[in-house]
Amino acid sequence: MNFKNLTILIFSTFSLSVQAQQKMLTTNTGTPVGDNQDSKTVGPNGPVLLEDIHLVEKLAAFDRERIPERVVHARGAGAYGEFVASGDFSKFTSASLFSEKGKTTQVFVRFSTVMGGAASPETLRDPRGFAVKFYTEQGNYDIVGIHFPIFFIRDAIKFPDFVHALKVSPIYNKQDPNRIFNFFSHVPEATHMLTRLYTDNGIPANYRMMNGFGVHAFKWVNANGEVTYVKYTWKSLQGEKNLTADEATAIQGKDFQHATVDLNDNIKNQNYPSWELYVQMLKPEDLDKFDFNPLDDTKIWPDAIAKPVLVGKMTLNRLPRNYFEDVEESAFSPADMVPGIAPSEDKMLQGRLFSYFDTQRYRIGPNFQQLPVNAAKSEVNSYNQNGPMSNRGQSSDINFQPSTDPNGNVDNTKYNYPGATYTNVSTIQHKISKPNDFKQAGEFYRSLSELDKSHLVNNLSNDLSQVSDKNVVKKMVGYFYMADSDYGKRLASKLNLTREEVESVFKTN
Ligand code: HEM
């Protein structure tokens, strides 16, 4: 073979291999596209024709690229992985994912910030979402938590007001400490959460180096119907790392999406992040033994009353194939539960059971559970049908239950919701007993190092100093005083307030 022939051979092999990788551009219905650069016009200078189907379809698809962003937790990053149980917990729950040591369940996780929009910085002081979907053989189970062990408020009826106050102003389209503390000055139960939020823990360094919490109490129910109340903690095996306010500002100046980059890069480089899952347990008969209500999500369960027990380990090892399809269209809900797990009576959790599927029917569409990221890996044999984008592959004439069809789907009382006995059967709207709004906030404050205390006081007083209504500031400082007098005193001094001024606002209100 002479040189010229060899060149021709190499060239034609190369162009063949390029051709082999290239696919014909088509319309959505698979018809080949002739020209993707020039619209069809009447003559060289005439108007564009409506019959240019490809153009019309292309613009129409583009016009519909966005779905509503999540009403909270709009910015997020996700990854797939697996959860391996560390033992057999069937004594406490019939949930199969906790039924034997080494049992492996596939998971999808979405981390998020809460108050910012879909492209907001990941350096803001804000809880981080920590939502885990377990694809179990009994259907999907979601633990939709955050990186703090508690929450700001304890009743779902307050949630829309809370979010309105913390998101941007409806007039000025900006987040405003005046609005935020105006709200919180009426919510003493938030003292504990605000104390945690304003430490450096309010800005986790990234998603890998933060812990996660289910926050609420849930019920674990065994095969005999016996209930154990549990709380979940995810402990980062990368260790916990937070940012000071100055470090966060410096990072934000260079990169407002550093946490997404960190997660993606580490998984790409096979440095797979992992977390251990712990549960704390309380027996139903013990719930009333403490000076706080264990079903109040503004409270932790101290280790001394409920020792954390290791139940498994989660490792994230696969990036989403497509951000929109896997992360944006993912749908988590505390109502995604499996046999052996039930909601507690926590008033926040009860509201959440409704809110998530409701928002997802609006945000994604009523058949959102059929999308690959949300679809159960176990068989789905429901007789729910149709609706926009239904793709259930329903193939039987029997779409009702019960029926005489020997192949029809049957229900089984084995899977009844667990029963409960309530002695007070009248309906009522009242505050929970034992609100104890300040004690755990004070205990948390006193557990901090001197450096952490000074960061907390600086961070909090920086935001409070921007509030123009001094009565709001005094009320807030009063709450922190009630948590711990040193804490209140240091804040008052930073804000040039005397103790008498702080006390006065409680007397007049
Ligand atoms: C009654 C109180 C609450 C209500 C009504 C509520 C409602 C919502 C709604 C509507 C969404 C958007 C869901 C979506 O579009 O897919 C959401 C997301 C989320 N919420 Fe809540 N929420 C509440 C409290 C909480 C609490 C206490 C936690 C933590 C324990 C929490 C953690 C999350 C997380 C992690 C997400 C993001 C899930 C994801 O990554 O897709 N929420 N919440």
Of all residues in the chain, the percent with pLDDT exceeding 70 is 96
Contacts of 390 (CB under 8 A, 6+ apart): 367, 370
Q: Could you identify the atom of ligand 1 that is nearest to the CA of residue 129?
A: 35
Residue 356 Cα to ligand 1 midpoint, Å, equals 7
Delimit the CATH 2.40.180.10 region(s) of the chain. 76-377
Under the banding of pLDDT at 50, 70 and 90, the label for residue 18 is: low
pLDDT digits (tens, 9 = 90+) for 231-273: 999 999 999 999 999 999 999 999 999 999 999 999 999 999 9
Mean model confidence pLDDT for the chain: 95
Q: What is the pLDDT of residue 425?
A: 83
* CA R_g for the chain: 27
Q: What is the pLDDT of residues 91-134, one digit of tens each?
A: 999 999 999 999 999 999 999 999 999 999 999 999 999 999 99
Cα of 72 from ligand 1 centre, angstroms: 7
How many CA atoms lie less than 13 Å away from 354 in the CB half-sphere?
7
Record the tokens describing residue 321, joined without a space. Answer: 């194939």
Q: Quick one: CATH architecture of 3-63?
A: Irregular (4.10)
Residue at 134: amino acid letter: F
Tokens 């350096």, residue? 123
- Determine the Cα angle at 184 with ends 195 and 74, to 5°: 80
Task: Give the model confidence (pLDDT) of 41-54 as tens digits.
Answer: 999 999 999 999 99
Query: How do residues 204-227 score in pLDDT, each as one tens digit?
Result: 999 999 999 999 999 999 999 999
Tell me the CA–centroid distance for residue 359 and ligand 1, in Å.
Answer: 10
Q: Two tokens at 199?
A: 């430490």
The closest alpha carbon to 290, from 272, 270, 305, belongs to: 305
Structure confidence at residue 8 (pLDDT): 47
pTM of the model: 0.94
Shortest-distance Cα residue to atom 15 of ligand 1: 70
The atom number, within ligand 1, closest to the CA of 331 reads 16
Instruction: Check: CB of residue 461 under 8 Å from CB of residue 491.
Output: yes
Q: Which residues line ligand 1 (CB under 6 A)?
A: 70-73, 76, 110, 112, 129, 131, 144-146, 151, 156, 159, 215, 297, 330-332, 348, 351-352, 355-356, 359-360, 363
* Ligand 1 atom at minimum distance from 112 CA: 40
Between CA 471 and CA 359 the distance in angstroms is: 37
Of 71-75, 389-393, 425-429, where does the model show the most confidence? 71-75
Topology classification of domain 76-377: Catalase HpII,  Chain A, domain 1 (2.40.180)
Helices (H) and strands (E) in the chain — how many of each? Answer: 14, 10
Partners of residue 16 on adjacent β-strands: none
Task: Note whether 123 and 252 are within 8 A (CB).
Answer: yes
Which of 72, 263, 323, 358 has most ligand 1 atoms within 8 Å of CB, for mutation?
72
Q: Which two tokens stand for residue 202?
A: 């309010």
Task: Return the closest-CA partner of residue 333 out of 142, 149, 151.
Answer: 142
Average pLDDT over every residue of 304-328: 98
> Whole-angstrom Cα distance, residue 467 to residue 457?
16
Atom number of ligand 1 nearest to Cα 213: 30
C-alpha span between 453 and 463 (Å, rounded): 16
- Bridge-based pairing of strands 274-282 and 309-318 is antiparallel
Which residue is closest in CA terms to ligand 1's atom 32? 145
Higher pLDDT among residues 422 and 380, named by residue:
380
Average pLDDT over residues 346-365: 98
What pLDDT, on a 0 to 100 scale, did the predictor assign at position 9? Answer: 47
CB of 332 within 8 A of CB of 142? yes
Measured from the Cα of 348, ligand 1's closest atom is 1
Q: Which atom of ligand 1 is nearest to the CA of 146?
A: 29
- Atom 12 of ligand 1, nearest CA residue: 70
* Residue 1 reports pLDDT greater than 50: no
Domain limits, CATH 4.10.91.20, in the chain: 3-63
